[in-house]
Amino acid sequence: MSASTCVLVEMGEEDPIISVAQLVAGLIGDADGKVVKECESLLEAGKFTEVVAEIMAHGGKLFADAPEKDLEAAVLIIGGLAQRLSPADAAKCVDQLVAAALAGTDRGSLRAAILFQLYNMTTDIKARFPILKKILGYVREAKLAELVAPISHHVEDNYKSWNLDAAETRAVLGDVFTMLAETSGNSDPNSTEAKRILDLQLLFLATFSAGEKLDAKGEEVAKAVVTSFVKATDMTFRCDLLGSPAVQALEGTKSSGALKLLTTMLTGNGVAEFATFAKSNGAVFKDLGLEEAECLGKMKLLALCALAEKSAEGEFTYAQVAEALQCGEGEVESWIVRAIGARLVEAKMDQVRGVAVVTRVNHRVFGDDQWKELKTKLASWRENLEAVANMTVPQIEA
């Protein structure tokens, strides 16, 4: 998550926890040494958790006024020694440190760094996740925008190892992409930040199973993902969006218009079908914050993909493009160039013959049916290669 900090702690012959008590005593002006004496007495009785409680009774002063290195050393001592205790007692000690760190937003970066330290120091996975949730809340409250991106990557890389249920997974992913949206300051749907948010939203939606109803947050995210897809110029999507159970679950909700629009754009038969949809669903564009003209432009590119998918000979004519896109033949080449630039197709234009020769196309939808079709094609190619091999072996042997 962040670079590790190495703090060298100088200690005398006394127990290291007593050095922390001495630090606290100095901060609170305990000239009589009552705190230190009490801690020594408790330590002799083997009551380590009570020693920590005595010290952390002054946790506010420790986190507010202790020199940075001294504070880091104190946390390392208490947190490190706590890991030798039973899980329950260790959790009690760490919880007191966490509570003290969360008690103020002054020295915010330092407090956050200590919270990360405690998180990394905790060996019990079940105890780590609650600390992470508190870190997320603190970073948001203290407005530590610089920490949001590294946290988001840490969550994305590790959340599956935390053995969370679907609700917990949605909660943590939702917190992270909401924080990213709040701190990005960039409304461009094609920005790096927008793509990061979209990646996390897709992970959020992936927690919904087929037939599962969306709650309010799920509906909001599914609707936002569809809107992001339509707005983005980079249409090389990394998932079967239309096949997502969460997106399909929009049917019958207040946001069902988003699903209807997506279905029309990804499975419709060209611009004519889109025009029919737009004529009777003008409110959908307004609800999603989309311009109909921009959607029409994207629809034309997707219609060009559909035409390329269906081209039996690996080519299609300019006349076919003009019909599918409902544009003049003079505009055809510019649309093909735009599709190539968007990495939707790879093709060469033959102006003499008035055709485009396709070498690759991005399928608008790639779900189970497309995987089955690909499997069939691969099996056919394998059979053909085996047949060629069988024909060539006798000739080689001769």
27 CB-near residues (< 8 Å, 6+ apart) = 58, 61, 62, 65, 66
112 near 145, Cβ under 8 Å?
no
398 residues of the chain, pLDDT tens digit each: 544 444 434 444 568 999 999 999 999 999 999 999 999 999 999 999 999 999 999 999 999 999 999 999 999 999 999 988 998 999 999 999 999 999 999 999 999 999 999 999 888 777 888 899 999 999 999 999 999 999 999 999 999 988 899 999 999 999 999 999 988 877 788 788 888 999 999 999 999 999 999 999 999 999 999 999 888 876 555 567 888 999 999 999 999 999 999 999 888 778 999 999 999 999 999 999 999 999 999 899 988 988 888 876 789 999 999 999 999 989 999 999 999 988 888 999 999 999 999 998 877 654 555 546 546 656 666 767 776 767 766 666 55
Whose CA is closest to 325, among 348, 345, 306?
306
Distance (Å) of CA 68 to CA 71, 186, 335, 361: 5, 34, 61, 57
- Say what the pLDDT of residue 28 is: 95
Q: Hey, what's the torsion of the CAs at 91, 92, 98, 99, to 10 degrees?
A: 150
- Say what the pLDDT of residue 122 is: 86
306 near 364, Cβ under 8 Å?
yes
Distance (Å) of CA 382 to CA 86, 222, 306, 313, 378: 60, 40, 27, 21, 6
**pTM (two decimals):** 0.77
Rounded-to-integer distance, Cα 319 and Cα 327, Å: 10
Residues forming beta bridges with residue 199, ordered by sequence position: none
Residues forming beta bridges with residue 355, ordered by sequence position: 317, 350
- Say what the pLDDT of residue 353 is: 92
Greatest extent of the chain over all pairs of C-alpha atoms, in Å = 105
- Say what the pLDDT of residue 7 is: 40
Handedness of CA 178, 181, 184, 190 (dihedral sign): positive
